[in-house]
Structure 1
């Protein structure tokens, strides 16, 4: 199943076989992210979200259809990404830092800083790394946090503005790649990428 991927990763493919990850959020970023990593050979993916599917979600949340309106996001997403035999666990509810998850890495696929601060607190308490991602209009950020203080980024809790599906998937792709790089031992530093696709594509990298 993973022949093409093994051609790229070689023996590092085996490092993914015992890895377990948590995705917080089953919206736009969560849909694309879960789809991308569900077939890379991980042992288990856990997804947590409290929300229901609405009509305005359909255009950018790629695993949802009109027939799913009113259903649990995490339940539908979990069902749709089972095709590659990775174990999928779903948790319906709001994430908080007091929860207990046995994972190797956390992916942020939320849309608000309050939940991200809870992710950061959980990660620090559990001594786990996490990958932060956000997208708004033609801009996005993706970062890998291990020891760095996330609170300096969480200055305002603003609701996302307009979003276009390819931009959401672009940010989710970078997030997925950062996660994979960490899981196979190739990511050694805490970094933040800033993506600007308003005119020409510009990507800036910062050490944190």
Structure 2
């Protein structure tokens, strides 16, 4: 350990050299290398955490850059974990960075999480959060939670020293159509930085043993009012009795097969003048769209399906590939004989492939 690098931390009363040694010995897993993950990774690495694991299977797109400040335009199209690895090693070569170029699943969650002391979940979807929670309960690992919604954010720490779990606060997973996401509703670039840094702080407090950890408390930040509030919640002891993971955590039936084409193939489809249905919002479409596409927002798809020619293949497009799958299910139910396809990775993957 290069003690000079961390002098401003080690002279801090209540932290000291002993606190720094605990960080150096610590192993922290960060799930997600996006808006929340970037500040978490940047500060934990800079502060001298000995081993950091990164789980993500996404690539850098230009729409990431306003908030994911670890990346730049030269990284567009590259795996996020590989791009992050390069930047973090240049920032501080003292620590060990382990990358998992995959999404967290029921098949790998236990194996990956086992090796770490603390899990910081910076994912952006409920299935992953419930999977992280259950794996952490089974393995008795504390898990630092963060979430975003518009100008607001939330932070808490679950499963800490026998404390409440994620399911104690959110017992049931919401339905997919009840959940907003930043592709549809946007996110102000600075908000992930604030929430991600609060998550990093909680992880440090857990490792070093300083301050009051946000266990049993949900911190809510309102960026427009610059205000914080805390909501207390209690442990439901039944939620700590879990011994195995669920068979699946996805919103969709895991046996359901959705025909799809890759974003790389979209260029060929455009050359063939294929029927592309863009199901994003009006704002997203006006900001950028493929000229040849037909715009029908997802929330009006059923009432405007007469704009679609179901006698020829229909290719459904959104920003990341999630809403196009929802559109597929809606249309397939009403038009079972039609040839419907979802474009994998959506415009994010398409723009990355074109860069």
Per-residue displacement from partner, 1:154-200 (whole Å, max 9, x unpaired)?
A: 435422321122111000111111111111112454321011122x2
Residue 4 in structure 1 maps to residue 47 in structure 2: no
Give the structure, 1 or 2, with the largest relative contact order (CA under 8 Å, sep 6 or more). Answer: 1
Residue 176 in structure 1 maps to residue 200 in structure 2: yes
Q: Which has the larger radius of gyration?
A: 2
Note the 1:1-208 alignment, pairs <5 A.
1-8=5-12, 9-10=15-16, 11-82=18-89, 83-84=91-92, 85-99=94-108, 100-101=111-112, 102-146=115-159, 147-151=163-167, 152-153=169-170, 154-157=173-176, 158=179, 159-160=181-182, 161-186=185-210, 187=212, 189-198=215-224, 200-208=225-233
Following superposition, the deviation at residue 207 of structure 1 comes to 2.8
Following superposition, the deviation at residue 94 of structure 1 comes to 0.8
Aligned partners of 1:197, 1:118: CA distance in 2, in Å? 29
Aligned length: 207
TM-score with structure 2 length normalisation? 0.56
Cα root mean square deviation, aligned: 1.5
Following superposition, the deviation at residue 150 of structure 1 comes to 1.5
Retained in 2: the 8 A contact 1:145–1:191? Answer: no
Aligned partners of 1:19, 1:191: CA distance in 2, in Å? 24
Following superposition, the deviation at residue 136 of structure 1 comes to 1.9
More helix by share: 2
Retained in 2: the 8 A contact 1:54–1:70? Answer: yes
Residue 331 of structure 2 corresponds to none
Q: Secondary structure at the match of 1:176?
A: helix
Per-residue displacement from partner, 1:111-170 (whole Å, max 9, x unpaired)?
A: 111111111011011110000001121100001001423234243542232112211100
Larger mean CA deviation between 86-95 and 179-188 belongs to 179-188
More strand by share: 1
Unaligned regions of 5+ residues in structure 1, if any? none
